[in-house]
Structure 1
Amino acid sequence: MMRRSFLTAVGLSAVGAATAPTAAPGSGGAVAARPRGLLALIGSYTSSNPAGRGLEIARRAPSGALESAGVVDGVPDASFFAWSPDHRFVYVTNERPDGSVTAIEVTGHRPRVLNSRSTRGAGPTHLAVHPDGDFLFTANYTDGSVVVHRRDADGSIGESTDLVRHPGSEPHAHQVVVDPSKRWVISVDLGDDSVFVYALDHGTGELTEHQHLQLPTGTGPRHLVFHPDAERAYLVAELRSEVTVLAWDAEDGRLTPGLVVGTRRDGASGENYPGEIAVSRDGRFVHASNRGDDDIAVFAVDGPGLRPIGNTPAGGNWPRHFALAPEETSLYVANQRSGTITRLSRDPDSGALSPSPDRYDCPSVAAITFHG
């Protein structure tokens, strides 16, 4: 079952000074004026109803509001982003039954699609570039697999070097990341209630399973993020509305579950499915989105654990994804069902969020990313 169907059933970036995108929505084919300053890349589902625009770019005004700056053609069902280490290239999942990933160059005057490659699976939802820049990893949600591609010298996506399938009766790989030591590739599987740690052979581009961390049945782990100290990680569970603190031993390549905290505000009821999780650059705060409650949970990092601070309304319906602005004084929320990106002001000292009037319309929005 495709990822979006499942959820229905249950309830650029700062490209330097000059970038000239393709035609802006509603511009009648005219090329938008060349924007300057911090840009955002926004992905949306072109096969949804209402149809999204795929990959578009927006400029951030001095006030913090996003302003439309154009659409990059040829990137359907853009649902997640990963940057190359030098931030000259961005890679996008095309979340379709015949899954693919697309490479885009953002160094010139116009974002340029380099190529696309099959993910050898269906419904790719997440991807990551190895910090050394030599490999691209993509998680295929629908059939529970992770595919490896080489990155060519020009930033394009090379041949696939491996495909690993998760075990279990209904695996659904939802995320793939590289640990801070660069030694291990980690995949989170929502359907199998598992996290897999793989060793990567840089010569062959092949993955070898090193740890299979089995979580309680019905957890539904979705996304994992490492703390800046590289000694722990935070795992958000879609089906239990929880965050699990994981100790991380890079030498042994092993995750160990610890404290579990809830993502919902006191008294919250009804269905809820957390979406994204992120840790602040200073390592003091963790944010997680709640789809159903439609808010953003904030936690303070408290020793080895987490302490809930509060929940702030997302300003839209079904916050699938969010991104902290480079300065971390704003948090931009991609609300899939309401088709909006809302901005929450953020206090870096306290981690607290507060609503703002800024709203950007984007039908069936899936994800947003900034450069920097």
Structure 2
Amino acid sequence: MSTTATIAVGGYSRSGSGRAPGLELLHLILGDGSDAGERAGAPTVRRGPTIELEDPSFVLWSPDGSLLYAVLETDPTRVVAVRVAEDGSTAELVADLPLEGAGGCHLAPGRTEGTLLVADYVSGTVETVRLDAEGLPVELIDVDHHRDLGDGRQPHPHQVSALPGTESLAVPDLGLDRVFLYRQDTAGQMGLAGEIPLHRGSGPRHLAADHESEQLHISCELSGMVATAVRRPSEPEPDAPAALRGSVHRWSVRSVIPGSETEGDNALSHLELTADESMLLVANRGPDTLSALSLTMMRPQITAEIEVGAHPRHFTQLGDLVLVAAQEGDRIDVLRRDGDELSVAAEPIPAPSASCLAVRP
């Protein structure tokens, strides 16, 4: 017996030495080990349709899996939507919305229903897009500029992420060495509500919060470190703005550790918690490895590290499998996590200039 999972792969088509068509769907056939000689969970691959797009840097499925959103790292940034057949056999571009910012590198669902949030690395902006009744991006409704927050430094927001158990959205800014906290009102407008400062030169890129956002793990691209911040209740100042009253918390960085045990430069990219939140997975560019960090101690500790293809830019999890997009390796590494150990689960999947991955719901 087997099951099939559909994976969306974004790949750079023009930037640098981009070699990908843009978007591609892969169908991973997962064995359950019931057939003679079959290894449980070992996937085989069937390639699906492709969509020609310019430099998709992040992809996101709609909740029902009927639409695939992508942000294009262009000038101006564009957000597109692709309608995917239920069986994954066809994919059609159905919306293409240009924004005001440049160098879009991440998108996420907004707190307000019917919105998408976009981080623009080049222009230093966070943009809010309205979706219509069919879930298609139709209008830019808000632009927040980080350039006014940098004291002359160049901002580079790199991700937008809702923090579970809070009303906040977190935006790590690689150029300003801060994680900015936002709130979104019912009309979809974003308002700055706080920040988490990091050491100068850290370069926060991506973050991962536990299910109540009591701990926030941050990959610092420029320093090669993983910073962990903890959240504690705090009383607002009497003259605090209305947006900061109510559920207010104070954040402090509790630990900073290397993302890799390999010597040399390391530009961290993506990190994710495992489903049970006992482990943190971290992608290391330079060593070109994936690390597993145990979170059962007072501070994260590396328990495993495994080599992957060159320049692992992003990864995603599928059960006990970890799929790693190795941008310069032109491949997707297929790993297995067993407790706090990592191993190779299958041969790498060819994927030119792979930048991002998303499992269809």
For normalisation by structure 2, the TM-score amounts to 0.86
Question: Which residue of the partner structure matches residue 40 of structure 1?
Answer: 7
Q: Distance in 2 between matches of 1:261 and 1:313?
A: 20
Contact 1:139 1:176 in 2 (8 A): yes
Letter paired with 2:160 = V
Question: Which residue of the partner structure matches residue 82 of structure 2?
Answer: 104
Q: Deviations over 1:193-240 (max 9, x none)?
A: 11100111112x211111122211100100011112432211010011
Question: Which residue of the partner structure matches residue 337 of structure 1?
Answer: 328
- Unpaired stretches in structure 2, ≥5 consecutive residues: 31-41, 234-246
Query: Post-superposition shift, 1:70?
Result: 2.1
1:261 to 257, 267, 279: 257
Q: Distance in 1 between matches of 2:346 and 2:168?
A: 42
Question: Which residue of the partner structure matches residue 86 of structure 1?
Answer: 64
Contact 1:345 1:355 in 2 (8 A): yes
Contact 2:165 2:211 in 1 (8 A): no
Query: Post-superposition shift, 1:352?
Result: 1.3
Contact 1:66 1:359 in 2 (8 A): no
1:222 to 202, 205, 210: 205
Secondary structure of the 2:74 match is: coil
Contact 1:57 1:70 in 2 (8 A): yes
Q: Distance in 2 between matches of 1:131 and 1:182?
A: 11
Query: Where do 1:1-372 residues align within 5 Å?
Result: 37-48=4-15, 49-62=17-30, 63-73=42-52, 75-106=53-84, 108=86, 110-130=90-110, 133-166=113-146, 167-168=149-150, 169-181=153-165, 183-203=167-187, 205-248=188-231, 251-265=247-261, 268-302=262-296, 305-314=299-308, 316-325=309-318, 327=319, 329-347=320-338, 350-372=339-361
Question: Which residue of the partner structure matches residue 26 of structure 1?
Answer: none
Q: Deviations over 1:257-313 (max 9, x none)?
A: 211121111xx3322101110001111110001001010111111255312212111
Q: Distance in 2 between matches of 1:195 and 1:322?
A: 22
Q: Distance in 2 between matches of 1:221 and 1:236?
A: 6
Question: Which residue of the partner structure matches residue 4 of structure 1?
Answer: none
Query: Post-superposition shift, 1:368?
Result: 1.1
Percent of matched pairs sharing the same residue: 27
Secondary structure of the 1:65 match is: strand
Q: Distance in 2 between matches of 1:53 and 1:352?
A: 34
Q: Distance in 2 between matches of 1:283 and 1:356?
A: 22
Using the TM superposition, name which of 93-102 and 274-283 deviates more: 93-102
The structure-2 alpha-carbon separation of the partners of 1:184 and 1:158, relative to structure 1 and needing over 3 Å to count, comes to farther
Letter paired with 1:264 = S
Q: Distance in 1 between matches of 2:297 and 2:186?
A: 35
Query: Post-superposition shift, 1:359?
Result: 1.4
Query: Post-superposition shift, 1:50?
Result: 4.4
Query: Post-superposition shift, 1:44?
Result: 0.3
Q: Distance in 2 between matches of 1:161 and 1:98?
A: 16
Contact 2:304 2:340 in 1 (8 A): no
Aligned pairs, number: 328
Using the TM superposition, name which of 158-167 and 79-88 deviates more: 79-88
- Unpaired stretches in structure 1, ≥5 consecutive residues: 1-35
Contact 1:85 1:131 in 2 (8 A): no
Letter paired with 2:214 = E
Q: Distance in 1 between matches of 2:192 and 2:269?
A: 26
Contact 1:93 1:100 in 2 (8 A): yes
Contact 1:145 1:163 in 2 (8 A): yes
For normalisation by structure 1, the TM-score amounts to 0.83
Question: Which residue of the partner structure matches residue 37 of structure 2?
Answer: none
